[in-house]
């Protein structure tokens, strides 16, 4: 599924409009957030997952506070 998206001016910012089919496939609607992540062939766009984001933040905190332990375990 390929869709051509056009970058438009929204006030002092730029934005992109998505066709209804894309919004439906992403299972998002007005007011929802999206996540744009790097991928080997470009970028990946997905619906923002708050549970996943919370898990990543918890992992970052653990890795920062216990980095010496993790470094020893990696040996």
| pLDDT above 90 for 69 | no
Question: What backbone phi and psi angles, to 5 degrees, belong to 23?
Answer: -60, -40
pLDDT class of 73 with cuts at 50, 70, 90: confident
In the prediction, which pLDDT does 46 show? 87
CA dihedral over 58, 63, 66, 72, signed as positive or negative: positive
Residue 20, exposed/middle/buried by CB under 10 A (0-12, 13-18, 19+)? exposed
Span 18-61, pLDDT tens digits: 999 989 988 898 988 898 889 999 998 888 777 777 788 888 88
**Which one-letter DSSP state was computed for residue 1?**
-
Q: Return the C-alpha torsion angle 53, 60, 37, 27, nearest 10.
A: -10
Question: What backbone phi and psi angles, to 5 degrees, belong to 6?
Answer: -110, 135
| Verdict on whether the full-model pTM lies above 0.85 | no
């Amino acid at each position: 599924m390929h869709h051509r998206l056009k970058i438009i001016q929204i006030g002092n910012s730029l934005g992109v409009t998505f066709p209804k089919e894309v919004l439906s496939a992403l299972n998002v609607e007005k007011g929802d957030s999206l996540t744009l992540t790097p991928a080997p062939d470009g970028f990946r766009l997905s619906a923002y997952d708050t549970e996943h984001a919370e898990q990543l933040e918890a992992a970052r905190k653990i890795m920062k506070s216990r980095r010496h332990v993790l470094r020893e375990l990696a040996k």
